[in-house]
Chain A
Amino acid sequence: GQNIDQPTEMTATEGAIVQINCTYQTSGFNGLFWYQQHAGEAPTFLSYNVLDGLEEKGRFSSFLSRSKGYSYLLLKELQMKDSASYLCAVRDIGDSWGKLQFGAGTQVVVTP
């Protein structure tokens, strides 16, 4: 199974940078995903890491260290619309069918 930890809430100012950390413990690993979820809406895919290093996609970047069981999502040039919950999810190598184990999510609040 998985144990996935991420902070409950983070607050940042519009235009700033926020880094959301995620740690996981797993017997196997087959990829880490970040999803964004606005209140009352479905999660939407942001990024995927399976190898160590940084993946950049516009204002969002995601980093993975498999040896440390650690990932972060970096949100740059924060906008008010970035206020949402950010979910870290891990796919276990033992789960051949690709099911995801999610953390509880980090609520990011962007203030003017």
Chain B
Amino acid sequence: DTGVSQNPRHKITKRGQNVTFRCDPISEHNRLYWYRQTLGQGPEFLTYFQNEAQLEKSRLLSDRFSAERPKGSFSTLEIQRTEQGDSAMYLCASSSGPSGGAYEQYFGPGTRLTVT
């Protein structure tokens, strides 16, 4: 299967701990997105990469959040000093091409974070 993969699928952590999630996009896709989704809501945009460059960060993304995409391949999302409000599903998506045309985003299965 050459879809988007994310690891881990589930993460339970105690408040104040740091966590890191990984996303492996579809190999030929140069664009990678991170979203956060809470129960009963649609995904909310967090940040976006084109190749290795992080081009946009949402105002939702506090300084405790950092994302990287070294070499323009996989990406990591780190949350420092986790808070209970960080509990959510973190989704990664990838797409190809410029913003015109469909160039739909393909989503990974997500990492469900629970902060206790």
Is B40 interfacial (CB-CB < 8 Å)? yes
| A102 near B55: Cβ-Cβ < 8 Å | no
Given the interface pairs A87-B42, A104-B40, the reply to whether A44 lies near B99 with Cβ below 8 Å is no
Question: A15 CB to closest chain B CB, in angstroms?
Answer: 28
Choose one: B42, B95, B107; the contact of A42 (CB below 8 Å).
B107
A98: nearest residue on chain B (CB-CB)? B99
| B42 near A89: Cβ-Cβ < 8 Å | yes
Q: Among B33, B55, B99, which residue has the most Cβ atoms of chain A within 10 A?
A: B99
- Report the interface size for chain B: residues with CB under 8 A from the other chain: 26
* Interface size band for A: 20 to 34
State the CA gap A52–B102 with chains docked (Å).
15
| B44 near A102: Cβ-Cβ < 8 Å | yes
Q: Among A87, A99, A105, which residue has the most Cβ atoms of chain B within 10 A?
A: A99
Residues 36-74 (chain B) with a chain A CB within 8 angstroms: 40-45, 48, 50, 55-56
1/0 per residue B69-113: CB within 8 Å of A? 000000000000000000000010001000110111111111000
Show 25 residue pairs from A and B whose CB-CB distance is below 8 angstroms, ordered by the A residue.
A30-B99, A30-B100, A31-B102, A33-B104, A42-B109, A42-B110, A43-B107, A48-B104, A87-B42, A87-B43, A95-B99, A97-B31, A97-B48, A97-B56, A97-B99, A98-B48, A98-B95, A99-B48, A100-B43, A100-B45, A100-B105, A102-B43, A102-B44, A103-B42, A105-B41
Which residues of B are at the interface with A, using a C-beta cutoff of 8 A?
4, 31, 33, 40-45, 48, 50, 55-56, 91, 95, 99-100, 102-110
- CB-CB nearest 3 A-B residue pairs: A102-B42, A42-B107, A98-B99
